[in-house]
Amino acid sequence: MNLRKRQRGASAEVHTSAMNDIMFFLLLFFLIASTVTNPNVVKLMLPKSSSGQAVSKKTINVSIDQNLNYQVNKKPVPLDQLRGALEGYKSMANELTIVLFVEHTVAIENVVQVMDIAKDLNIKMVLATQPKGK
């Protein structure tokens, strides 16, 4: 037998079932929207690496595809004009880092040409890779 008196007041309850539905629809919306945001991305097969490193915020993306087409921040640049394009970015920022995206079938001599240009301009360089795993 329960001899304790019941409290006759309002109980404080929060019903979150509607919030779960809203969060699900927001998640779904952002997943769909994120697949549409970068339609001009250059698809490259990057080499794999087991070590990773963070990169500073002032970066330039330089990519080389299997046809030896050079791009600086998704803009095509011929190899002979690459130094001038990088000098333009160097004048905008003091500490600059080049993130070099190279197709895994490109010969190393083409990568070294870009590295030499970056070294002459005193620009740090990081080679982009995909994480090893699956």
For the chain, percent of residues with pLDDT exceeding 90: 16
Domain that holds residue 101: 48-131
When divided into structural domains, the chain yields a total of 1
Q: What is the DSSP secondary structure assignment for residue 114, as one 8-state letter?
A: H
By the 8 A CB rule, do 70 and 63 touch?
Answer: yes
Is 13 part of a structural domain of the chain? no
pLDDT tens column, 44-66:
666 676 666 554 458 888 999 98
Is 37 part of a structural domain of the chain? no
Is 92 part of a structural domain of the chain? yes
Full-prediction pTM beyond 0.95? no
Q: Which CATH number characterizes residue 106's domain?
A: 3.30.420.270
Q: How far is CA 67 from each of CA 74, 84, 98, 102, 131, rounded to the nearest angstrom?
A: 15, 22, 21, 11, 24
Is 5 part of a structural domain of the chain? no
Residue written as tokens 């870009």? Answer: 114
